[in-house]
């Protein structure tokens, strides 16, 4: 469902009304990163369920590629959501700078910087990855590096940034709405509602990303704390009972964006409907020509 939704999201962002906007750049890159991570997860779950030989255990190259890509996306995806939230923050709170800061080229530059940072954090993990007795393994130092990077750079810091920016956005929207209600004529209220309706779905995407990322982050922090404090087996068993729920909630972050947008905005529903109708029409024309 997540991969299908991401593909439809990419199709929707290619619409002429949206592809020139800055936030479409973040959503297109999120389509690529999220779909790759979900595909890797599907592969791993298939291997585990049917007791198949792991693809990563065939050789060291596949081992590094699969785990490296997964680690890269774990860092990349949350920070792309931070970039999207920052873009919305500038558009909402500083509308006069929107034409200067919230452009497609600026968004591409931000995405490239995030990608470079994620690759830099992934390199040490790839260098130390080895194939030991048919399993991918790393040194103990890299394990601590993985835990620190996973908690700080792919969970705590991006979640904190998303939370703060969304709070500021919601406060500004609320104040602006109250200001318009007090000083503007009733005839202009429709335009303000239109502005809020175009901003709210993207803010909702960011808020739900925070909601789905945070529980897994707190669970991993608790797990690390239990290991360091050498807690008893009962505490670890209690945490492991809820771990499957935390993982499922975490994976929702990588497949929910399309469904949030179409559920919260009639504008996006109309765009995807027109895109799919246009695609079907072109396919029928090609079939008729070939016949």
| Integer Cα distance of 33 and 165 in angstroms | 23
* C-alpha dist (Å) from residue 123 to 18, 82, 164, 167, 268: 35, 22, 30, 34, 38
What pLDDT score was predicted for residue 236? 66
Alpha-helix residue ranges (DSSP H) falling in the chain: 2-13, 22-49, 60-93, 98-101, 104-128, 140-151, 157-183, 189-229, 233-252, 257-264, 266-290
Half-sphere exposure of 87 (CA within 13 A, CB side): 27
Q: What is the pLDDT of residues 199-224, one digit of tens each?
A: 788 889 999 998 998 888 777 767 76
Closest by Cα among 54, 257, 62, 88 to 168: 88
Partnered with residue 115 across adjacent β-strands are none
What pLDDT score was predicted for residue 139? 78
Please indicate whether residue 160 or residue 226 has the higher confidence score (pLDDT): 160
Among the ranges given (12-21, 186-195, 258-267), the one the predictor scored with the smallest mean pLDDT: 186-195
Phi and psi of 52, rounded to 5°?
Answer: -90, 160
| Integer Cα distance of 285 and 290 in angstroms | 9
Which region holds residue 134: left if phi is over 0, alpha if psi is between -120 and 50, else beta? left
What pLDDT score was predicted for residue 192? 46
Using DSSP's 3-state secondary structure scheme, residue 198 falls into helix
Q: What is the mean pLDDT of the chain?
A: 84
pTM over 0.95: no
The CA-to-CA distance between both ends of the chain, in Å, stands at: 34
| Integer Cα distance of 214 and 226 in angstroms | 18
Biggest CA-to-CA distance, the chain = 74
The confidence band for 191, taking pLDDT boundaries of 50, 70 and 90, is: very low
What pLDDT score was predicted for residue 228? 62
Q: What is the pLDDT of residues 29-60, one digit of tens each?
A: 999 999 999 999 899 889 888 988 888 888 88
Domain boundaries, the chain: 2-182+200-290
Please state which CATH number belongs to domain 2-182+200-290: 1.20.1070.10
Q: What is the pLDDT of residues 137-179, one digit of tens each?
A: 887 778 788 878 888 888 889 999 999 999 999 898 888 777 7
Partnered with residue 116 across adjacent β-strands are none
| Integer Cα distance of 134 and 148 in angstroms | 26
Residue 196: pLDDT above 60?
A: no
The confidence band for 231, taking pLDDT boundaries of 50, 70 and 90, is: low
| Integer Cα distance of 185 and 150 in angstroms | 51
Burial class (CB in 10 A: 0-12, 13-18, 19+), 158: buried
Residues sharing a CB contact under 8 Å with residue 207, sequence separation 6 or more, in sequence order: 162, 166
What pLDDT score was predicted for residue 197? 56
């Amino acid at each position: 469902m997540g991969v299908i939704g991401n593909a439809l999201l990419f199709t929707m962002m290619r619409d002429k009304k949206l592809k020139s906007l800055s936030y479409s750049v973040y959503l297109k890159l999120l389509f690529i990163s999220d779909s790759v991570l979900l595909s890797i997860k599907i592969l791993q779950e298939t291997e585990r369920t049917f007791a198949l030989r792991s693809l990563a255990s065939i050789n060291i190259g596949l081992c590094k590629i699969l785990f490296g890509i997964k680690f890269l996306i774990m860092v990349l995806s949350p920070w792309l959501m931070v970039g999207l939230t920052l873009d919305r923050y500038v558009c909402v709170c500083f509308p006069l700078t929107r034409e200067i800061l919230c452009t497609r080229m600026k968004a591409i530059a931000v995405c490239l910087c995030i990608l470079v940072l994620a690759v830099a954090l992934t390199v040490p993990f790839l260098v130390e990855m080895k194939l030991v007795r048919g399993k991918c393994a790393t040194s103990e130092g890299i394990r601590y590096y993985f835990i620190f990077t996973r908690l700080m750079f792919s969970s705590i810091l991006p979640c904190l940034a998303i939370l703060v920016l969304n709070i500021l956005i919601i406060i500004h929207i609320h104040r602006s709405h109250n200001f318009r209600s007090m000083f503007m004529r009733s005839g202009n209220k429709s335009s303000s509602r239109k502005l809020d309706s175009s901003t709210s779905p993207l803010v909702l995407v960011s808020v739900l990303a925070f909601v789905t990322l945070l529980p897994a982050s707190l669970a991993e922090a608790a797990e690390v704390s239990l290991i360091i404090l050498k807690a008893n087996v009962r505490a670890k068993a209690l945490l492991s009972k809820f771990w499957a729920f935390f993982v499922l909630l975490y994976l929702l972050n990588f497949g929910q964006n399309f469904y949030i947008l179409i559920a919260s905005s009639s504008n996006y529903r109309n765009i995807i409907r027109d895109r799919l109708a246009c695609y079907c029409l072109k396919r029928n024309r090609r079939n008729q020509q070939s016949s």
